Structures are given as C-alpha cells and as structure tokens.
Amino acid sequence: MSGTLYVVATPIGNLEDMTFRAVRILQEVALIAAEDTRHSRKLLDHYAIKTALISYHEHNEEQRSAQLLERLQAGESLALISDAGTPCIADPGYRLVSRCREAGLSVAAVPGPSALVAALSISGLPTDAFRFIGFLPAKSHGRRKLLEQFNDEQQTIAFYEGPHRLLACLQDIVDVCGAERQLSVARELTKRHEELFSGTAAEAVAYYAAGKVRGELVLLLGPAAPRKPQGTVKEELARLHADSDLSWKQVVKQVAKDFGLPGSDVYKESLGLREKE
C-alpha cells in the first residue's frame, strides 16, 4: 500500500488559525516537506509537533519530488506545507502534486487559511465569480499590459503584491483602469495591524502615498462599471462585431445586456447587418 500526500494549509499570520485536523495529520505523517524548514519549525514547536522536516522549494522541486514520490510509493504518508496559507496557491507544490497524480498516488487536502480567500471574504466586493492572477509583473510596462486586459472585466480580480510596489501599482491602475475603479487592499490579515482599505483607485493612491506601506497584502480590483452604449442598438452591434472576436450570438447577447433589452429584439436588429456580410 502506498502512502498519502497531505496538502496542509497553515496560518497566514495568526497561529490560532490552525485546524485540529492539520495538527493531527502533521503529527502522524512520516515527514513534512516545507518551503523553509526554519520558518515552519516555529509553527510546529508551537503545536509540539515533532515530525521531521525536509525542504521543498522552487529551487529543489524537481529533485525533491522524485525523493518524496519514492517514499510515498514505499508506503509512507507525507505532508506538504508552505510558509503560510495553502500550498500550491502562488506557492511551491504543484509539481509534486502533479507527479503524485500521474503516478496514481493518493493526494488529500487538509484545507485552511489562504490570504486570497480571506481577503475576498471581507472585501465586500462581488465574489460569486472572481479571477486570481497571482503576483503582478514587477515592472510597470508588464503590469500595465496585464491591467489593460481587465478594463472591462466584470469579475473581481485578485492579485498578490508586495508593500514596496503597492503605490506604483495603484498608480498604474488609475492610469489604465481609471481613477474611479473600485478596489480593496487587505493588509496584514489575521495579524495585529490587519487593515482593509476600500475605495476608488484614486483614493487608494492618496491613502497609501501618505506613509510607508508595510506588511503583506492582497489587492482586489472590483468589476469594471458596465459599459454604457454610445449610439443606437444597430451602431453598437456593428461596432462590437467589428472590434471583437465575439460571434454574432455573443454580440447580440452583450448588446441586449448593455441596453437592457430582450435578446429577441436585438437579434431582429442584427439580421440586417448579418445579411450585408
């Protein structure tokens, strides 16, 4: 019988955010693969977990995955943790999990904290659907190019960002997505200086320009305001068809939504344009 790889979430700041199951699994497994063993030792000591630790990070993922796979195949159960939050979410682990799956080995989630979900849950922004982008590009040029894609995005978009880049990033959002775009910044979640900023992009620039930004943060860009159609239904149909890769069916659906009209009415309007093609 081969063992199980447990992917175990750990606190993102407050050590009390450890689940009972996470503690038990970390006590029971033969070995814990951790991003930074010294960092994780503090958490394990806090819970009197004596299990051996081995490093698993982006620079040794390939080689370590092979070793860990061998131990799983030999029947040992192992745990994977990262420095904070849920492994594999903008953290190492994906390769190991993927190799385990390919080898038919059992992988089980021990869910718990993640900065992404914690930030979304308290932001007040729509969360029925959202996009997670991970870390934003470090340079302004790359960042702006990426942000351009979100100009009309109707879902909340979540980014991880470092405190030293926040202001430059907010300035790029003002320039690319507009000063009025709603956003939230969730900083130092679950820690003593936890803070949630909510407001427009311009307000955020003013707020964070006033002092040095510290700590860890998640940036959430709210959905773009619905586009206001400029001309008549026919003009909008023609414009959207010419400017996008959308099919006629999708164009009709979008225009009906933008004008608040029944799809059947807009469909009739589109017929004349389609015939001309």
Report the interface residues with ligand SAM, using CB under 6 A: 12-13, 82, 84-86, 89-91, 114-116, 160-161, 186-191, 216-218
Contact status, residue 153 vs residue 126, Cβ threshold 8 Å: no
Q: Between residues 164 and 249, which has the closer beta carbon with respect to ligand SAM?
A: 164
Select from 89, 95, 96 the least CA-distant residue to 135: 89
| Separation CA 88–CA 223 (nearest Å) | 26
Half-sphere exposure of 260 (CA within 13 A, CB side): 3
Residue 185: other Cβ atoms inside 10 A: 24
Task: Give how far the C-alpha of residue 36 lies from the chain's centroid of Cα atoms, to the nearest Å.
Answer: 22
Q: Between residues 95 and 191, which has the closer beta carbon with respect to ligand SAM?
A: 191
Query: Cβ of residue 180: shortest distance to ligand SAM, in angstroms?
Result: 25
Query: Cβ of residue 191: shortest distance to ligand SAM, in angstroms?
Result: 6
Query: Cβ of residue 182: shortest distance to ligand SAM, in angstroms?
Result: 19
CB-based closest residue to ligand SAM: 85
Query: Cβ of residue 257: shortest distance to ligand SAM, in angstroms?
Result: 34
Q: Between residues 115 and 237, which has the closer beta carbon with respect to ligand SAM?
A: 115
Adjacency order of strands within the sheet including 53-55 = 53-55, 31-34, 78-81, 4-8, 106-110
Adjacency order of strands within the sheet including 182-187 = 130-135, 156-161, 217-221, 182-187, 195-200
Query: Cβ of residue 110: shortest distance to ligand SAM, in angstroms?
Result: 13
Q: Between residues 76 and 194, which has the closer beta carbon with respect to ligand SAM?
A: 194
Q: Are strands 31-34 and 4-8 parallel, antiparallel or unpaired?
A: unpaired
Query: Cβ of residue 96: shortest distance to ligand SAM, in angstroms?
Result: 14
Q: Between residues 16 and 275, which has the closer beta carbon with respect to ligand SAM?
A: 16
Q: Between residues 95 and 227, which has the closer beta carbon with respect to ligand SAM?
A: 95
Contact status, residue 153 vs residue 225, Cβ threshold 8 Å: no
